[in-house]
Structure 1
């Protein structure tokens, strides 16, 4: 049941799930009941590899596995040689703002960039240096300069000219400043000027707040801000593809925080930005970009505050009228994640028991029949049908395993019976918003 699980993955899985969050690594070992969604996603990845772009909305009830799905998509995309990144909308991170919240989202996106050899994020410097090395080798070959000599400072201007030429070829908006900053990064790289490299990275991650400061440090005229950050994401997408990557995948979770924006005008501007991204991707205005949004059914369908309140989005995101619970259409932009059924949860708990034992080098006296009894206790509790989520089942199960690991003399059946059901959704959505006019 746990073939090829690494100790680091096992620890991440157990600690994260006990904490009520999705593990960043190892999610493929605990995947159940999502094979059709994954196959459809792999097909979409092939389209994006071939130059198309894609937007998907992963919609499900609280605790249905939206965040888990996004992490699983990351794992699949990394193996397909995509550059990926994963971040959440928060009250301070959004797609549109005029007070720094949009560029804050951009900064979070850039901070979390991952590649297969650096899957936990922070891969932007690695990617920049890899691209620069490709330019260095190309320059050496084009000018018949030995590779042992090309990094000498006397060739600095030659390399920088080539960097700027290539950047101008692959970018459209903001390319000059983008190329200038990468040249500064290269200069710091060659001259071992760590401060210059840090300044360049700071600019590329959208962390400069004033043009004056950026001009003093790097000699550029602009900074990445709320208005131009999306153009910069598209520039990075082209840069990654020019390096040989399949594309750039951006996962944006917790869309509930767009739904919660109290000012209707700002909320609509955020939805307008989603529409712009959607149209760019499906009309072929951008290539090799894959953007995933995750949110609840209310975020999608509420016609007062949700995406459906913006008519142009509603017309694009309405479900295929021929789809049913049994007949699914995974090609449409909205993928509805149905809750795991009890058989799938049972298989998942068996896997988690094996990973738990592997992680702690133990063998807790809980067999499959005990797992069935635990599930019976959980699903027969008052309120279970309304409030119980897979997240709560998993967390309670692992908490009981932890208690038994440290107190093997305890009666496991009594622990099963002590489980209580609570409504974890209570903080997810408050419908009593005051519209600010």
Structure 2
């Protein structure tokens, strides 16, 4: 069953899942039961490759696999030659703000940019240098010069002109300053001035907080801030496509933190930003752009604070009324992640056992019957039907494997019997009460 798993992937899978988080690499090796969703996603990727744009909302209960799904989408998109990025909404990262929380989300996105050769993120500098090399090659061809000659300092103005011309053709808002900063990056690149390159990257990642500081370091008039960061994301999308990439995909997880925003006005402004992006994508105002949101049903459906509290979003995101559990519509913007079946969980645990053995170079005496017994213990415990999530099943199973590896004499059946079911869900009722109290004040 175990195929093409690399040692680095095996270690990432085991360590991450033991820690209760989704591994950044190797998720394709532990995927079960999501074939229809993946097939629909691949079709959507093809549409985005062809110049369309897309917004999807991945909705499921706490621990149902939303974050896992986003990481799986990453793996698929990277193989399709997309530039991808992940970021989480937090109390300090959001779509709309006037106190730096919007550009903080942008900075997180830019920090986590990934390509197939750098799947774990941090690929912005690599992409910039690749693009600059493409401009140098194009300029050399247009000027009838060799690649060696074009790098001579006397031809620097020609390359600078080529960079600015290309940037101006690709960008809408903020193109001039964007171009100047890329020129500064190029200058640092050819002169091996690491400080200048760092400052240029700092600007491009939205990390300057004052125009004065940016002007002193780079000679530009503007900085990336809460109100223009979305335009910069669109500029980067065009830049990546011009380089030969299929598009730019951004995954935004933990949408519960938009739901938790304490003031109704600010929450509505964030939903309005989602609506703007949604309309831009589906009305053809932006090309080759794919945005995924992940959240719980409450985030989507709550009529007071969820996305459905904003009527224009509700009308766009309501489920196809003809959809049933057996007849799914994966073309609609909202994809609801149904719980894994017991058979799918069984297959998943078998895969994890093989990866665990491969990672630790061992062969634990845990059979298919043992896995079945473990599942029966878990799913028959009081509270399992209400509280048990795939995350907890996986973590308990790996914890037991870890104990057995280090203590071979332990009784497996006794370990299975010691399992306790805990409610790991966030206390949303308490959150509701707190936020309602703040709004009343």
Q: Same fold (TM over 0.5)?
A: yes
How many Å separate the matches in 1 of 2:289 and 2:67?
Answer: 20
1:218 maps to 218
2:14 maps to 14
SS at match of 1:286: coil
Is 1:98 the counterpart of 2:98 in the alignment?
yes
SS at match of 1:208: coil
Unpaired segments ≥5 residues, structure 1: none
What is the total number of aligned residue pairs between the two structures? 437
How many Å separate the matches in 1 of 2:280 and 2:39?
Answer: 25
Cα distance, 1:154 vs structure 2: 1.6
2:298 maps to 298
Cα distance, 1:53 vs structure 2: 0.1
2:74 maps to 74
SS at match of 1:119: coil
How many Å separate the matches in 1 of 2:428 and 2:206?
Answer: 30
Contact between 1:85 and 1:110, CA under 8 Å: does it hold in 2?
Answer: yes
Contact between 1:168 and 1:176, CA under 8 Å: does it hold in 2?
Answer: yes
Contact between 1:264 and 1:435, CA under 8 Å: does it hold in 2?
Answer: no
How many Å separate the matches in 2 of 1:428 and 1:70?
Answer: 23
Is 1:335 the counterpart of 2:330 in the alignment?
no
Correspondence 1:108-257 to 2 at 5 A? 108-257=108-257
How many Å separate the matches in 2 of 1:198 and 1:208?
Answer: 12
Cα distance, 1:172 vs structure 2: 0.8
Cα distance, 1:426 vs structure 2: 3.4
Is 1:273 the counterpart of 2:273 in the alignment?
yes
Provide, for residues 50-76 of structure 1, a one-character-per-residue CA deviation record: whole Å limited to 9, x for no partner.
000000000000010000000000000
Moved over 4 A (4+): none
SS at match of 2:57: strand
Using the TM superposition, name which of 142-151 and 315-324 deviates more: 142-151
How many Å separate the matches in 2 of 1:31 and 1:361?
Answer: 22
How many Å separate the matches in 2 of 1:426 and 1:317?
Answer: 24
Is 1:356 the counterpart of 2:349 in the alignment?
no
How many Å separate the matches in 2 of 1:155 and 1:213?
Answer: 30
How many Å separate the matches in 2 of 1:39 and 1:428?
Answer: 33
Contact between 1:153 and 1:190, CA under 8 Å: does it hold in 2?
Answer: no
How many Å separate the matches in 1 of 2:248 and 2:264?
Answer: 31
Cα distance, 1:283 vs structure 2: 0.2
How many Å separate the matches in 1 of 2:201 and 2:15?
Answer: 32
SS at match of 1:431: helix
Contact between 1:184 and 1:200, CA under 8 Å: does it hold in 2?
Answer: yes
TM-score, structure 2 length as denominator?
0.98
1:3 maps to 3
Instruction: Please give the root-mean-square deviation of Cα atoms over the aligned residues, in Å.
Output: 0.8
Is 1:47 the counterpart of 2:60 in the alignment?
no
1:431 maps to 432
SS at match of 2:293: strand
Cα distance, 1:2 vs structure 2: 1.3
How many Å separate the matches in 1 of 2:385 and 2:206?
Answer: 46
Cα distance, 1:408 vs structure 2: 0.4
How many Å separate the matches in 1 of 2:116 and 2:155?
Answer: 32
Cα distance, 1:428 vs structure 2: 5.7
Provide, for residues 166-194 of structure 1, a one-character-per-residue CA deviation record: whole Å limited to 9, x for no partner.
11001111100000100000001111111
Cα distance, 1:96 vs structure 2: 0.3
2:408 maps to 408
2:398 maps to 398
Provide, for residues 143-178 of structure 1, a one-character-per-residue CA deviation record: whole Å limited to 9, x for no partner.
011111111222111111110001100111110000
Provide, for residues 264-305 of structure 1, a one-character-per-residue CA deviation record: whole Å limited to 9, x for no partner.
100000000000000000000000000000000000000000
SS at match of 1:85: strand
SS at match of 2:320: coil
TM-score, structure 1 length as denominator?
0.99
SS at match of 2:244: coil
SS at match of 1:249: strand
Unpaired segments ≥5 residues, structure 2: none
1:36 maps to 36
How many Å separate the matches in 2 of 1:427 and 1:25?
Answer: 30
2:313 maps to 313
Using the TM superposition, name which of 232-241 and 189-198 deviates more: 189-198
SS at match of 1:145: coil
Contact between 1:82 and 1:246, CA under 8 Å: does it hold in 2?
Answer: yes
Using the TM superposition, name which of 164-173 and 231-240 deviates more: 164-173
Cα distance, 1:435 vs structure 2: 3.6
SS at match of 1:276: helix
